[in-house]
Amino acid sequence: MGHKTPSTYLPIPSPFPFPIRFHPFSLLPTLPSPCLILLFLAHFKATQSIQAHPHAEVLSLDWNKYTPLTIHTSSNDRTLKSFDLRQPSLPLSTLQGHSLAVRKIAASPHDGRLLASASYDMTVRIWDWQAGGREVARWEGHSEFAYGVEWSLFGEGWVGSVGWDGRVFVSDWKREWKMV
């Protein structure tokens, strides 16, 4: 599984074998000053429950690196949703287009508008969640369920995906994917 630091991986007993990732703003010891901690706590309850995908299972979550109180979720209802944690009762956006469950969502570390999703429909897609929730690009290289997607921190535009076909694809989505 590789080395994980305590700030990005917590070995919490769970019925699911998936790691839990936290945004730096959710880990109070990582905040640089007590003033920021007080500001943070004034806007956000310590524990919050969001009915993100009613009547469906939430399969993944990622924090937006540019708007710290924004989270993105994916579900077996075939949608992606974005929420502002200060007002979580209604999603900021709902993205539709996958024909099967969306197993993984990842927010771009380079552009706060972009999300990547991997779905059991064997596609990996790039979305602009702020521009009316439109699909931007699509990769159709997997021959089985796509279940993982991540952005490269080191190369802007580089996306990696994995599927049940045992294949790993790493590519520059702007140059190599089908634009939608």
pTM confidence score: 0.74
Residues (pLDDT < 70) of the chain are 1-46
Taking the domain 58-179, which CATH number applies? 2.130.10.10
Checking 12-20 for CB contacts under 8 A at 24+ apart, the result is none
Helix (H) or strand (E) holding 171: strand 168-172
Residue found by looking up tokens 């771009």 in the block: 108
Strand order in the sheet with 134-139: 102-107, 114-119, 124-128, 134-139, 178-179
pLDDT at residue 129 in the model:
94
pLDDT at residue 66 in the model:
87
- Is residue 88 within 8 A of residue 95, CB to CB? The reply is no
